[in-house]
Amino acid sequence: MAKQLTKRQHAVLDAIRAWIRERGYPPTIRELGKRLGIKSLRGVTSHLDAIAKKGFLKRESRARSISLSDLLAPFEQALRVPIVGRIRAGQPVLAQEEVEAHLVVDGAWIGASSAPEAPQHFALKVHGDSMINAGILDGDYVIIRQQPTAEPNDIVVALLGDEATVKRFVKDGEQIRLQPEHPTMEPIIVTPDKSPAILGKVVAVFRKLA
Amino acid sequence: MAKQLTKRQHAVLDAIRAWIRERGYPPTIRELGKRLGIKSLRGVTSHLDAIAKKGFLKRESRARSISLSDLLAPFEQALRVPIVGRIRAGQPVLAQEEVEAHLVVDGAWIGASSAPEAPQHFALKVHGDSMINAGILDGDYVIIRQQPTAEPNDIVVALLGDEATVKRFVKDGEQIRLQPEHPTMEPIIVTPDKSPAILGKVVAVFRKLA
DNA sequence: TAGTATACTAGACAACAGTCTAGATAACAA
DNA sequence: TTGTTATCTAGACTGTTGTCTAGTATACTA
């Protein structure tokens, strides 16, 4: 359906993109024409109509109403997830002071919407190799969906004392274990009455290679 | 420096943000006034001037020239990386027909800029466990920066025959090996004269957990 | 108490910006 | 050849859009 653009049409689209990037708002037809070296308004509008017909932009009959279909898309999908430096018992995870930076992730990927009522996500940097057999390495970032409970075999972030730890949540009959995925590390056994504070479930793993 | 906004000013800013999100271009003063229930133009412009003075937006004396300082900046990081379904020898990787979907990633994370001349990135879904010891599992997505060569010990995507494969690039004297990170799999040895087609270097790994 | 910032109404005015008509040239397909 | 698409020039017309003047009311500060 989305037909190919001609070379000139592509140049027009690039010019619009550049304009928005520079100014923060779309160009008028005259401004666009000046930038492209087209002296007549009709020349520009016919380009715009052609590009719109192919689905790469939308227009309304109003001032500066060009909107790029593909430029808007990442805006809708993009979600800023705070990277939390330290988690303290008794304090909300997203205490502003502990937010070190933000990570832009694909909202659709982690099952998030940008609606304010949607479940909150945060990111943690993993320290140590305790989950190495699950493919989570030292230095990886994990994206966590905040929730107070977990299903068996979920990988969760739990608060043990004053430290957040990433482990697999295993239910063995009545017994709950926080199982490291590491050949030599021992599971942490939790008695049913003293359940650990589950901060959330790991829904994605991000790794940056040098 | 960035002073606090009043409640009403915050509402104005939110209205602008929502408008841009919905339409893709900024509102006029009249449109903004209508949305906020302000009947006079002066009422709206004085808000805009106040907000601009506090640094949250910029204006020019032209139609729809409101641009939000804070909205654009974080989302400029967002980059859409195409997920390539199949790679065919002799064809450009980014042949449109093979792009299955897009992934929004943090441009800063993968060392990308959105400038047109910057190195191109693409994403691949990993099949098989051949890189399991490097923490890359079946079903993971890898982000690749396109480049024709590699440094020793880089994890690369190489084209072997008609198939793209993720391996570690190892140089053993004159000999080049494509080394799987798997306990039982054998390396692929490449003679110096018949160097494999390196498509690029893996710069990030993404995993989605169910 | 005077001064200043916030938060509005009402409306005039001039420049801006999209639409439209009327052409022209070139490439390419039927 | 004829028709279609892509690219463009020139310019009239009209509704849109930002600016500005002139007021009103409230709250807080000095």
- Per-residue model confidence as pLDDT tens digits over A7-28: 889 889 889 988 987 888 999 9
Q: Is pLDDT of A178 > 60?
A: yes
In this prediction, residue B116 carries a pLDDT of 47
Residues B84-117: pLDDT tens digits? 877 666 566 665 556 777 888 887 788 765 444 4
Question: Range with the lowest mean pLDDT among A97-106, A108-117, A196-205, B26-35?
Answer: A108-117
Distance between first and last Cα of chain B: 44
In this prediction, residue A74 carries a pLDDT of 55
Taking residues A95-99, report their average pLDDT.
61
Residues of chain A contacting B58 with CB distance shorter than 8 Å: 24
Taking residues B203-208, report their average pLDDT.
94
CB < 7 A to strand C: residues 14-53, chain A = 28-31, 40-42, 45
In this prediction, residue A96 carries a pLDDT of 54
Report which of residues B63 and B102 the model is more confident about. Answer: B63
Taking residues A136-160, report their average pLDDT.
91
Query: DSSP assignment of chain A, as one string?
Result: --PPPPHHHHHHHHHHHHHHHHHSSPPPHHHHHHHHT---HHHHHHHHHHHHHTTSEE--SSTT--EEHHHHHHHHHEEEEEEE----TTS-TT-GGGEEEEEEEETTTTT--SSTTSPPEEEEE--SSTTGGGT--TT-EEEEEE-S---TT-EEEEEETTEEEEEEEEEETTEEEEE--STTPPPEEE-TTS--EEEEEEEEEEEE--
Taking residues A45-49, report their average pLDDT.
92
In this prediction, residue B37 carries a pLDDT of 92
Q: Is pLDDT of A85 > 70?
A: yes
Q: Is pLDDT of A90 > 80?
A: no
Residue given tokens 């940008």 in the structure block: A114
Catalytic residue among A167, A171, A194, A208: A167
Q: What is the reported pTM?
A: 0.69
Question: Could you check: is the Cβ of residue B21 within 7 Å of any atom of nucleic acid strand C?
Answer: no
Taking residues A43-70, report their average pLDDT.
88
Per-chain mean pLDDT for chain A = 83
Taking residues A91-117, report their average pLDDT.
67
A132/B contact by beta carbon, under 8 A: yes
Nearest residue in chain A measured CA to CA from B75 = A75
The rounded percent of chain B whose pLDDT value lies above 90 is 39
Is the CB of A109 less than 8 angstroms away from the CB of B103?
yes
In this prediction, residue A169 carries a pLDDT of 93
Q: Map chain B to HEC letters.
A: CCCCCCHHHHHHHHHHHHHHHHHCCCCCHHHHHHHHCCCCHHHHHHHHHHHHHCCCEECCCCCCCCEEHHHHHHHHCEEEEEEECCCCCCCCCCCHHHEEEEEEEECCCCCCCCCCCCCCEEEEECCCCCCHHHCCCCCCEEEEEECCCCCCCCEEEEEECCEEEEEEEEEECCEEEEECCCCCCCCEEECCCCCCEEEEEEEEEEEECC
The rounded percent of chain A whose pLDDT value lies above 90 is 40
**Chain D bases under 7 Å from protein CB?**
6-12, 16-23
Question: Range with the lowest mean pLDDT among A14-18, A96-100, B23-27, B57-61?
Answer: A96-100
Q: Which residues contact B61 (CB under 8 A, 6 or more apart)?
A: none
Q: Is pLDDT of B1 > 70?
A: no
Q: Is pLDDT of A98 > 70?
A: no
Q: How far is A73 from chain B (nearest CA, A)?
A: 9
Q: Which residues of B are catalytic?
A: 130, 167
Report which of residues A50 and A119 the model is more confident about. Answer: A50
In this prediction, residue A34 carries a pLDDT of 94
Return d(Cα B77, Cα B146) in angstroms, integer. 19
In this prediction, residue A195 carries a pLDDT of 63
Per-chain mean pLDDT for chain B = 83
Residues B121-171: pLDDT tens digits? 899 999 999 999 999 999 999 999 988 889 999 999 988 877 889 999 998
Report which of residues A177 and A71 the model is more confident about. Answer: A177
Return d(Cα B81, Cα B104) in angstroms, integer. 6
Q: Is pLDDT of A137 > 90?
A: yes
Q: How far is A7 from chain B (nearest CA, A)?
A: 15
